[in-house]
């Protein structure tokens, strides 16, 4: 069928036409790399994002839309170091949700986990005693807060039998999340051949953990945790500096450098920032703090349409009803420079002739949003009600009319 574009309207015009209220809200959806848009019509342009001076890659993303506000080398594969443990947390939470493991499960600190990731190694550890068990929820807290490699390995063995089997789960869930340039080999982030991710993928992972498993995400804001006689602090310095920061994870190896993925919420807006390959603990915290401050200062997120709210009404041929109401299946959100919401333009593309029957939820067209002539978001238009096929005479009459129109 041939699609016809519907007239381009401002968001304000669509609001008046269809009675749809817009409001700022946090909720999720994904997008591609985009440079900050320049503000026209006499307004000052948004300053360039404060790019980290020495990192290998960085990105700042809006949580609600998944829109990349700024970044550099965002799809370059690099070692993620202990940010890997966010993927480990996601797998554990997903397997718990399926009932395959429980927070009360006794998890054994095996000799392999202790030797590979315990106190005798160069990496971070939690200090659970070898050949003894601890509840899964405690072992996971040690992994998240203390970045314990020993705890990560023990958890992987408990969930999947071995690190290798657990890595297969990691890669399966990563694909489901949409992490297109990541491959995991172990649950810790210790350097291993082929263990790679990207700043963009890691931001998507953080976004997925926050949205899908908020209880698991909440562990990331704990500032310290004690195992036996040893109390260790969370290495995310921003938890002490900025009350809006509630996660997510640090990482460091000699190959990866200093890495940090952080998220903060101020009012109704949440941002995620990732820096990979920085030079020190302080520098990674400074760099991420600057990116978060910049993003909150210059961008805002709006909800344009609720799920199943009417966006348009279109004529239907050969149907029991002469028209169908169209909307979006998921809330449609967009991130724009502050003060530019009223400048958004909205357009719709729908088939020239809609023929019944049309099922509820069936994709019928596309709605697109643009700012200053650049498309910044789109979503499928779906039927928010079914239209059954009309009776014999309705079908016959509409067929004759369509034939006449096509001549």
147 is catalytic: yes
- DSSP code for 341: G
> Closest Cα to residue 331, out of 312, 358, 311?
311
Q: What is the DSSP string of 305-336?
A: E-BT---EEEEEESBSSSEEEEEBSS-EEEEE
Q: Could you tell me if 116 and 125 are in contact, meaning their C-beta atoms sit under 8 angstroms apart? A: no
Which listed residue (55, 82, 197, 346) is catalytic? Answer: 82
Q: What H or E segment, with its residue span, contains residue 227?
A: strand 224-227
> Closest Cα to residue 144, out of 200, 79, 83?
83
Q: Could you tell me if 406 and 385 are in contact, meaning their C-beta atoms sit under 8 angstroms apart? A: no
Q: Return the SS3 of 346.
A: strand
162 is catalytic: no
Which listed residue (55, 124, 126, 147) is catalytic? Answer: 147
Q: Which phi and psi angles does 375 have, rounded to 5°? A: -70, 130
41 is catalytic: no
Q: Could you tell me if 314 and 276 are in contact, meaning their C-beta atoms sit under 8 angstroms apart? A: no
- Other CB atoms within a 10 A radius of the CB of residue 336 amount to 24
Token pair 């963009």: residue: 200
Which listed residue (85, 303, 318, 345) is catalytic? Answer: 85
Q: Active-site residue numbers?
A: 82, 85, 147
């Amino acid at each position: 069928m041939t699609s016809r574009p519907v007239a381009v309207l401002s968001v304000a015009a669509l609001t008046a036409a269809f009675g749809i209220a817009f409001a700022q809200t946090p909720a999720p959806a994904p997008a591609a790399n985009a440079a900050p848009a320049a503000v026209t019509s006499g307004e000052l342009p948004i300053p360039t994002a404060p790019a980290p001076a020495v990192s290998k890659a960085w990105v700042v993303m809006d949580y609600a839309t998944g829109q990349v506000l700024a970044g550099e080398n965002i799809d370059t594969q690099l070692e993620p170091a202990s940010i890997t443990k966010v993927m480990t947390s996601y797998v554990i939470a997903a397997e718990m949700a399926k009932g395959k493991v429980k927070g009360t499960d006794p998890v054994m600190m095996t000799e392999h986990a202790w030797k590979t990731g315990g106190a005798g190694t160069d990496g971070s550890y939690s200090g659970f005693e070898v050949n003894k068990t601890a509840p899964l929820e405690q072992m996971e807290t040690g992994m998240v807060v203390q970045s314990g490699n020993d705890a990560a390995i023990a958890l992987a063995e408990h969930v999947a039998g071995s690190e290798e089997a657990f890595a297969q789960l990691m890669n399966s869930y990563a694909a489901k999340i949409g992490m297109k340039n990541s491959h995991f080999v172990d649950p810790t982030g210790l350097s291993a051949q082929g263990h790679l991710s990207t700043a963009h993928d890691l931001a998507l992972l953080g976004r997925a953990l926050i949205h899908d498993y908020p209880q698991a995400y909440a562990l990331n804001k704990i500032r310290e945790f004690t195992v036996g006689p040893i109390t260790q602090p969370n290495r995310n310095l921003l938890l002490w500096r900025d009350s809006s920061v509630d996660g997510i994870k640090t990482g460091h190896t000699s190959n990866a450098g200093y890495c940090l993925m952080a998220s903060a919420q101020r009012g109704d807006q949440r941002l995620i920032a990732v820096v990979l390959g920085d030079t020190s603990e302080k520098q990674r915290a400074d760099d991420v703090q600057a990116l978060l401050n910049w993003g909150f200062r210059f961008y805002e997120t709006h909800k344009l349409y609720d799920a199943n709210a009417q966006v348009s009404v279109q004529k239907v041929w050969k149907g029991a009803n002469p028209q169908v109401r169209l909307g979006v299946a998921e809330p449609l959100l967009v991130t724009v420079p502050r003060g530019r919401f009223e400048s958004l333009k909205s357009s719709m593309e729908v088939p020239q002739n809609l023929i019944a029957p049309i099922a509820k939820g069936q994709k019928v067209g596309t709605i697109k949003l643009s700012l200053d002539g650049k498309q910044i978001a789109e979503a499928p238009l779906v039927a928010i009600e079914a239209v059954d096929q009309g009776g014999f005479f309705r079908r016959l009459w509409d067929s004759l009319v369509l034939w006449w129109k096509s001549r």
